[in-house]
Amino acid sequence: MGNTDLQFNKNEDAMRLALSELRKVSEQVRLGGGKAAIEKHKEKGKLTARERLELLFDKNRPVMEIGELAGYGMYEEYGGCPSGGVVVQLGYVNKRLCVAVANDATVKAGAWFPITGKKNLRAQEIAMENRLPIIYLVDSAGVFLPMQDEIFPDKENFGRIFYNNSLMSAMGIPQIAAIMGSCVAGGAYLPILSDEALIVEKTGSVFLAGSYLVKSAIGEVIDNELLGGASTHCEISGVTDYKMKNDEECIKTIRNIIDKLGKPDMAGFDRAEPRPPARPSTDIYGILPENVTGQYNMHELIRCIVDEGDVVEYKAGYGKSIICCYARIDGWAVGIVANQREVVKAKKPKVSGEPGSFTTEMQFGGVIYSDSADKAARFIMNCNQKKIPLVFLQDVTGFMVGSRSEHGGIIKDGAKMVNVVSNSVVPKFTIIVGNSFGAGNYAMCGKAYGPRFIFSYPTSRIAVMGGEQAAKTLLQIQVSAMKAKGKNVSPEEEAALLKKITEKYNSTMDPKYAAARLWVDGIIDPADTRKYISMGIEAANHAPITRPFQVGVIQT
């Protein structure tokens, strides 16, 4: 066995270990409020959020979960909020791709934490961008009162949900809501702003104020069922449209409603007969280095993703720290923009005061150079011209620094790439393979730049800069501040402080930290990359492109 095979096996072992750890976290998160809470929930005759979704979606069809780790490690003073207290998935309902949002009532009775609002808004954003029907399975006690100031009043808080309900209605995006448990106060507007509302007998209720608040406010004594149960709203108020006997009948009715929807307009992205990749998708495990600073050839990773490994590489000999190529993924035509981490022979351009260009070894390390940024910008413009969706494979440490780069106009070329990514009208999909640092995150279509979906591998790290550099910078700042106050810092104290800073900073670079805050839609098994990109493009294909591609002022 050669060194290359040995390293491949070591890389593979490291990735499988990371995936095993991720699965353990996922299993714990999927329990929601815990086994006892689940049993109590079922005693009421209700299915859990995940059971409801499993019944809703077609069998033997892929499902994409959004934000499974939302809230992970957050709100621990309140007992946590697994999955943000809500499950969001994309799946097929009678062969129609839909977004579904199911409150998890085993987590604080389905109460809304700040991350719950953010996750619900993300679900609506996906439905609006891709013009997909959205289904709400409502079972929530409303805003989590101890944190009401962080969920109630702002533009991106709870009330924005109803704003989006109204916009989607005007856009003609189907919205169906099922009241399968509590639906209280402001939350009552969500199902009623939807196109159609179903309610389950005995377990479903909807009202602006529950019986306790009604008694304290106006002195009226009434129970919740008579106040806002299924019979009240289907036979007296007319607020809801369908009275259902149980969860199963409710979900069956939703499937029947979706089955009658008219065919949507399509964007027309090209799809051929899907072909398998040239290398098994699981080979990604061995290709990616166990050390995040290690080298690997991104071309080989691409061969694990694209159909038959067949690519047409754009400007292959120029700007080699970014790979740009046309390919197909599960049959869909795509343009790929990927960072290169391999050490290669490359020509450096002539610089003032030097005799001419020369050949040297350049370790790209995911760094974006001026020529790479220029190439990527032109390629992205071409994809927009040809109506080809874009896939970004991120492993970027930032833009090249130093006098040579500054004199060569790195800021100008970087700005050009950022401008083009920002104004792109074709759908963009981002996979964070490894590092995602600084402005490189932006140029390679990080969350702020509107990817339709963004996922990361267990090897990913998102931060302003690498942990070692950031920790040393923060250490210098703290030590300087301490010395300014007259405190002497010994080498031992400095080393201990550096260790503490490094550990804290590195914890924020963990992909689970990013997933908890919805900086990414989830952490995926690299072997499933094709599935996530294919489903993403299929979703995007439901939304025709309605504006021309154009950019503003670009420095040339």
- SS3 readout for 208-252: CCCHHHHHHHHCCCCCHHHHHCHHHHHHHCCCCCEEECCHHHHHH
Q: Are 331 and 272 in contact (CB under 8 A)?
A: yes
Task: Give dist(CA 416, CA 551) in Å, integer.
Answer: 10
Q: Are 345 and 357 in contact (CB under 8 A)?
A: no
Tell me which residue of 338, 327, 223 sits closest to 271, measured CA to CA. 327
Mean pLDDT by 10 residues, the chain (556 residues): 78 97 97 96 96 97 98 96 98 98 96 96 98 97 89 89 96 97 84 95 89 84 87 94 97 98 96 98 96 90 97 96 97 98 60 47 73 96 98 93 80 92 98 94 96 97 77 78 82 80 82 97 98 98 95 79
Tell me which residue of 279, 266, 393, 285 sits closest to 335, measured CA to CA. 393
Q: And the tokens for 361? A: 């070894």
pLDDT value of residue 347: 54
pLDDT value of residue 223: 84
C-alpha 234 chain-centroid distance: 38
pLDDT value of residue 358: 43
Task: Give dist(CA 386, CA 402) in Å, integer.
Answer: 36
Contacts of 5 (CB under 8 A, 6+ apart): none
pLDDT value of residue 100: 98
Task: Give dist(CA 452, CA 471) in Å, integer.
Answer: 33
Task: Give dist(CA 332, CA 334) in Å, integer.
Answer: 6
Beta bridge partner(s), residue 338: 323, 393
Residue 300 C-beta-side C-alpha neighbours within 13 Å: 14
Task: Give dist(CA 101, CA 158) in Å, integer.
Answer: 15
Tell me which residue of 122, 135, 126, 153 sits closest to 96, measured CA to CA. 135
Helix axis angle, 247-259 to 49-56, nearest 10°: 40
The CA-atom distances, in angstroms, between 77 and each of 287, 306, 366 are 41, 45, 39
Task: Give dist(CA 395, CA 106) in Å, integer.
Answer: 38
Q: Are 109 and 85 in contact (CB under 8 A)?
A: no
Q: And the tokens for 197? A: 């509302």
Q: How do strand 343-348 and strand 358-363 relate by DSSP bridges? A: antiparallel
Residue whose structure tokens are 């640092």: 437
Task: Give dist(CA 76, CA 424) in Å, integer.
Answer: 40
Contacts of 69 (CB under 8 A, 6+ apart): 25, 26, 29, 83, 512, 515, 516, 522, 523
pLDDT value of residue 349: 52
Q: Which letter does DSSP use for residue 73 in this model?
A: T
Q: Are 104 and 85 in contact (CB under 8 A)?
A: yes
